[in-house]
A and B are shown apart, each in its own frame.
Chain A
């Protein structure tokens, strides 16, 4: 029994945005796209760490649930066990997505519910995209359901550093901003954060590959965190994948001279996929070459906690996964922290 992905949505926000509204929009869109009994969505987990006005109570997930209109007032049959929604926030920086999946896995296996929604959003607490705020205002939503055929997420590993500094800290000094505490936060990167995180991630990946006997040649896609524009490439190259230079040139040339607009690019890419095959299509849409990296940073910047959902969404939006396709989610972040899991697509 596992956790399988039923549907995803992503939103790239405007310069003025609400983290709660954008997450609720993503959740609504995600639920609209599928034919399910909504009373069965037993969990709504918010993994975003930034919140409007630095709200700390209630769980931002409950405000997102309210705005989404999901099981607002369970009465009557929704008071039955296994129906109605419990919403709460799960926080572990950029690794939050995989912790949320692990929690959902436990709920599904214990029979508490059979469907769950993960939402994410990262927007500056002031609602305005401040200079120096490193994250793209963005949101994602993912609907999960129980998989009974052994597919879905498996091989979870979570690891944090026992020593050394955190690398990145995000906090609100509630006594330092006068009466502007709702509109401010501090994002503090240490100079060697990315280099230390890369060493930490790769050494832990080595253990992961050995422990679960992962054959990297079977991996169709790798979705990493969006630490920087070169992060994903560095991780995937260090794992042994090399860029196909011709396909990279083709992708860069087409994007530069022809595909200036997003929508036509996708439609044309989808047409080309039918003519030339999937690999060329993926190269055009996202820059994936024979290298399985799902590089969303180039198009969307640092989408922080939403990166796993946005990565999956972009892989599957116009080119559905086939049965047996495997995706490796490798998340890295402050702490230092690491989380990894394998996703295998089952029968649709």
Chain B
């Protein structure tokens, strides 16, 4: 079914915050029991990650990203109609994890967004992109004129636990060693140009695979941990993705060659390259989009990973005006989805002309 969708909302501004503290993969391995160490960098391609320092937590990281987003925006805080916090981690005042009231309320009040409604949304690494779909739908429905989706991931505590607890080379906490801390925020508003904006968003939960990754407190020590059947998740995701990409493109009336940039969720260099190979095989003879890879520098920053990669690519001039981008969501749940949009000059200017973190 071919379907030409009206572009209603667009990315108006983006903001990023990354802690200054850089930890190399070698530094991390040196903290582990020598018998438990693995060739993490050669397996995953991850060389460095950012890690919070004293005084930093999910709240400070989220607030940093939100403030940078507003600096890059034409809007002031009081103009924002809704703030959606989408982080997995909600640490504030150190490593205290909050459930009630919602984090979004603290972020909203700290920003001075007194006219915004707010709520928290949890959807693993798909959080920010789920927030994008909700906000896009709210703008389409006329419920809001604009909104901010923000995420502050203070996720390296799971790496701290993994370093302590991993005893064997094959361990369900292995994926915890790949994470890094980062905050991201974007504002969507109504597009006034029919050629600019979000063309399509879709996301589904393949709940058959919901129990392949758990983030929860450790049962051996204080702190939090993540337990992943990484092989299971990759097999499930990679088995589904090529067909789903094909169906999605058909739905929106696009060919793979109409897409310039793929921004997949950033888990490892190897996984992204594998995905690229599978799509090359699925679309024989076609020129594939460029795949963005920033996981080698930042690690897997959970719900902020896609936005962080996109922001860096904009800043570095990798993405040009008028190019079509697909954000490819792959997250625990198992959530798979896409956001398809065309980049405009205003968004590039907002990121390249103004300060980021």
Contacts and interface: CB of A to CB of B under 8 A. Distances in A.
Contact of A57 (B98, B140, B143, B213): B213
Contacts of B243: 75, 79
B346 interface: no
Contact of B122 (A59, A102, A177, A337): A59
Nearest to B302: A57
A4 interface: no
Interface in A160-176: 160, 162, 166, 168-176
Given A53-B216, A171-B99, A335-B101, A88 B108 contact: no
Given A87-B207, A182-B217, A93 B100 contact: yes
Interface string B235-269: 00000100110010001000000000000000000
Interface stretch (B15-23, B27-35, B48-56, B328-336): B328-336
B42 interface: no
Given A72-B207, A89-B122, A179 B219 contact: yes
Given A174-B222, A181-B222, A160 B108 contact: yes
Contact of A168 (B101, B133, B213, B332): B101
A148 to B, nearest CB: 15
Contact of B217 (A44, A90, A92, A181): A181
B68 to A, nearest CB: 23
A79 B142 CA distance: 27
Nearest to A47: B119
Nearest to A91: B120
Contacts of A110: 136-137, 140-141
A333 B94 CA distance: 24
Contacts of B117: 99, 158
B333 A58 contact: yes
Q: What class of interface size applies to chain B in its complex with A?
A: 35 or more
Q: What class of interface size applies to chain A in its complex with B?
A: 35 or more
Interface string B188-216: 00000000000000111111101101111
B322 interface: no
Interface in A43-63: 44, 49-50, 53-63
B210 A58 contact: yes
Contacts of B208: 66, 72-73
Contact of B123 (A88, A103, A162): A88
A140 to B, nearest CB: 17
A91 B119 contact: yes
A102 B82 CA distance: 12
Contacts of B127: 88
A92 B99 CA distance: 9
Interface in B209-233: 210-211, 213-224, 226
B304 to A, nearest CB: 14
Of A56, A89, A96, A110, chain B has the most CB atoms within 10 Å of the CB of A56
Contact of B206 (A57, A73, A172): A73
A86 interface: yes
B250 to A, nearest CB: 10
Main SS of chain A's interface residues?
Answer: mixed
B194 to A, nearest CB: 18
Contacts of B101: 92-93, 166, 168-169, 333-335, 337
B211 A88 contact: no
A1 to B, nearest CB: 9
Given A55-B216, A58-B333, A96-B119, A162 B207 contact: no
Contacts of A337: 101, 105
Contacts of B244: 79
Interface string A256-298: 0000000000000000000000000000000000000000000
A63 B123 CA distance: 11
Contacts of B205: 44, 59, 61-62, 65, 84-88
A22 B282 CA distance: 42
Contact of B204 (A59, A60, A85): A85
A162 B216 contact: no
Contacts of B278: none
A65 B207 CA distance: 6
Contacts of A87: 123, 205, 207, 333
A79 B122 contact: no
A63 B210 contact: yes
A177 B133 CA distance: 37
Given A57-B88, A89-B122, A174-B95, A66 B141 contact: no
B207 A85 contact: yes
Contact of A171 (B96, B121, B226): B96
A56 B122 CA distance: 8
A60 B122 CA distance: 8
A71 interface: yes
A207 to B, nearest CB: 14
Nearest to A166: B101
A57 B86 CA distance: 12
B204 A84 contact: yes
Given A106-B140, A110-B141, A62 B222 contact: no
A112 interface: yes
28 contacts: A49-B99, A57-B213, A58-B213, A58-B214, A58-B335, A59-B335, A62-B210, A63-B207, A71-B207, A72-B208, A86-B204, A89-B120, A90-B120, A91-B102, A91-B119, A92-B120, A110-B137, A110-B141, A112-B133, A160-B109, A162-B109, A162-B114, A168-B101, A170-B99, A174-B217, A181-B222, A182-B217, A335-B105
Interface of B: 1, 3, 88-91, 94-102, 104-105, 108-109, 114, 117-124, 126-127, 130, 133-134, 136-138, 140-143, 157, 202-208, 210-211, 213-224, 226, 240, 243-244, 247, 251, 331-335, 337
Given A90-B121, A91-B121, 12 more contacts: A57-B122, A61-B205, A62-B207, A66-B211, A75-B240, A81-B251, A91-B120, A93-B102, A103-B138, A109-B143, A170-B98, A172-B97
Closest 3 CB pairs of A and B: A57-B215, A181-B217, A109-B141
Interface of A: 44, 49-50, 53-63, 65-66, 70-75, 79-81, 84-93, 96, 99, 102-103, 105-107, 109-110, 112, 158, 160, 162, 166, 168-179, 181-182, 185, 333-335, 337
